[in-house]
């Protein structure tokens, strides 16, 4: 039993000591490749995600600024109507005869060609 215990302790000691004498790691290669890949990923991220979102926001801002009385519009909720009144931040949209709703300009999703509502 003593011999088995000694050999077990010797095995454990050698297992603990051997990593301390392990060969040193190989030197790292040049880090330029990782940096270039990071920059490429950032450029791709910009052109596929950020730039299109900025373009859509710019187009929507232009749409909202150019709303006029009589324009036929679609709201973000899908309601079709004709603009009856325009103020700085709000529009009054006539969605049926004698039925008007007041909306924020930002909730207008798109303008429609004239006569679209009557053709539906």
Residue 77 lies in a domain: yes
Give the number of other Cβ atoms within 10 Å of residue 82's Cβ.
Answer: 19
The burial class, CB within 10 Å (0-12 / 13-18 / 19+), for 20 is exposed
Is 24 a member of any domain? no
Asked if the structure places residue 104 within a domain, the reply is yes
Whether residue 92 is contained in a domain is answered as yes
Residue 48, pLDDT score: 93
pLDDT of residue 35: 87
The CATH number of whichever domain residue 43 belongs to comes to 2.30.30
Domain of residue 113, residue span: 34-119
* Inside any domain, residue 74: yes
Q: What is the pLDDT of residue 33?
A: 84
pTM (predicted TM-score): 0.64
Any domain includes 78 = yes
For the chain, what is the domain count?
Answer: 1
Q: List the chain residues with pLDDT less than 50.
A: none
Establish if 21 belongs to a structural domain.
Answer: no
95 and 101 Cβ atoms separated by less than 8 Å:
yes
């Amino acid at each position: 039993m003593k011999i088995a215990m000694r050999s077990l302790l010797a095995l454990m000691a050698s297992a603990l000591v051997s990593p301390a004498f392990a060969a040193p790691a190989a030197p790292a290669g040049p880090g330029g490749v990782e940096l270039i890949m990071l920059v490429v990923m950032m450029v791709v991220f910009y052109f596929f995600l950020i730039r299109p979102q900025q373009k859509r926001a710019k187009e929507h801002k232009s749409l909202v600024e150019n709303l006029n009385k009589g324009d036929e519009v679609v709201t973000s909720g899908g309601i079709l109507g004709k603009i009856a009144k325009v103020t700085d931040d709000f529009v009054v949209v006539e969605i049926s005869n004698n039925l008007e709703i007041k909306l924020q300009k930002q909730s207008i999703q798109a303008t429609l060609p004239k006569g679209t509502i009557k053709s539906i």
